[in-house]
Amino acid sequence: MTIINLANISRVDLNLLVVFQCLMNERSVTRTAAILNVTQGAVSASLKRLRLQFGDDLFVRSAAGMVPTRRAVELAPQINDALARVSNIFISESQVDANIARRTFNIALSDDIEACISPMLINEARVRKLSVGFAFHQSNSIIWKESLSDDAIDLVLCGEPKGLGSHFSSKVLFSASYSCLYDGVRLGIQSPITRDEYLSHDHVRISYDGRRGFVDDLLEADGVTRKVSASFTHFAGAIASLVYCDAIATIPTFAANAYARIARLTVSPPPITVPAFRVFMIWNVARNEGVHNQWLRSFVSETTRELQYGASQPQSPLRP
């Protein structure tokens, strides 16, 4: 049994943790105030109290918004879990069952995220014996607002969404980076792949417009041009090409692991420095208090929790 220090808890305003969580998700005092239906001054006052409570700045204002400090990043998973548990106390299991029974939830997401997360959601619902269904719709970080303009869409999942505003709420599900995916047997390349091996083979590019990707920018900054045999705007075609062609793809690690299991391909850390990015869950602010949407957000967060703790890192290659 966990020993709880009630005296410590009594000295803390738990509403401050709600402000912390919202700032962590939104990185904006303005959006946090809109979501919590309070003034910006109230959010600033809460942040001041949080800083005193934890003895740290927690969030530092920058051109990119309110940037969390190392201490804030360390606290975030604990506070998120604590608030999720408190929230669940006030929704009984019978209430949840009655509200979601035979409901189909509509989730818009890119196909790389879909390959990783959709099986997790389906399996978790089966394990819990929930009478719910899911409909997955195509979206991405560019067109996510268009997806949410459809009233039928409950959530959008995408990487680093462009143009978040006060009409939308969001939460970071997990952070990720990139891996290489290829047929190790066909190419005769083990994992980890070397830079020479990487540059000597053809590549398939996946990008929103099919014309250019971040790998092109990284390599050309070093005076190197990669050999691109084909470009795709979706991941499915690119993965099929890796099975039948001599090529390498550099894609999000969580997707590389998912596709490797499906097509028995090899996953390797890239031999170049690649950026990290965050995968967000986004919904219309008008649905903040909706029981269905609250349940779905909690379900998605809990089901993908393993991805928050490194499960999106490269796994052992399935083929040599």
pLDDT value, residue 244: 92
pLDDT value, residue 136: 97
Which tokens sit at 241?
Answer: 């090409």
pLDDT value, residue 267: 96
Q: Could you tell me the sign of the dihedral formed by the alpha carbons of 201, 202, 208, 213, in that order?
A: positive
pLDDT value, residue 177: 94
Maximum Cα interatomic distance, the chain, rounded to a whole number of Å: 65
From the first residue on, what is the mean pLDDT of each consecutive set of 10 residues in the chain (320 residues)?
50 82 88 88 92 92 88 86 69 52 89 95 92 93 94 95 86 93 94 95 90 89 92 90 94 95 94 93 89 90 82 45
The radius of gyration of the chain from alpha carbons, rounded to an integer in Å, stands at 22
Which tokens sit at 124?
Answer: 């978790």
Give the residue from 79, 78, 15, 75 showing the smallest Cα distance to 47: 15
Q: All domains of the chain, ordered by start, with CATH?
A: 6-89 (1.10.10.10), 101-173+281-308 (3.40.190.10), 178-268 (3.40.190.10)
pLDDT value, residue 79: 85
pLDDT value, residue 15: 86
User: By the 8 A CB rule, do 282 and 170 touch?
Assistant: yes
